[in-house]
Amino acid sequence: MSRIAPLEPPYAPDIQAQFDRIMRGAPPLVLFRVMAGHQRAWQKLQGGSLLDPGPLSLREREIIIDRTCALNHCEYEWGVHVAIFAGPATLTDEQVRATVHGPADAPCWAEAERALLAAVDALHHRATLSDDEFAALAAHYDDGQILEIIMLCGAYRTVSYLCNGLRLPLEANAARFPR
């Protein structure tokens, strides 16, 4: 049970329209239902969570999001993303498992993806990038993409705080951390 009660249907028309836009016909996630009950929090989540495609590929976005959520022990958000996006992002079962249990330099990743994962790990553990880590990113990503990488890490750390701190129940159709 969530520590803050989620909205229950029927939703106000403006909230329903927002859920429809984000969820594309699927039922709204518990996270969205909790946040939508508090206008300022909901607006901040929508405004700062980088829900739009942005300058990275879906695969790159999902590697960042999955790794960030895994490092934050956020099975809720990791599971939602893996269930919905792992297939379209062409992540193999080995790569999905590696977002939770593998090192950044695991052989299942391409060179650019290893640089991406090393950056996610560095930002999580030290809140900065060394000159070498930044150079490895810059060898594969432009300035706009690097900014997006850093912002995605921060946004999904915040999402992890929300999900974990509120003890959101896992979504029924979401993936579970590999054991």
- Round to whole Å and give the CA distance between 11 and 79: 25
Consecutive sets of 10 residues in the chain, 179 residues long: mean pLDDT of each? 95 96 92 96 82 89 98 98 97 98 98 98 98 98 96 95 97 96
pLDDT of residue 53: 78
- Round to whole Å and give the CA distance between 164 and 96: 21
pTM given for the model = 0.94
pLDDT of residue 34: 97
Which one is the CATH code of 58-165: 3.40.640.10, 3.30.420.40, 3.40.50.1820, 1.20.1290.10?
A: 1.20.1290.10
Is residue 119 within 8 A of residue 129, CB to CB? The reply is yes
Residue ranges per structural domain of the chain: 13-48, 58-165
DSSP codes joined into one string, 57-105: -HHHHHHHHHHHHHHTT-HHHHHHHHHHHTTTTT--HHHHHHHHHS-TT
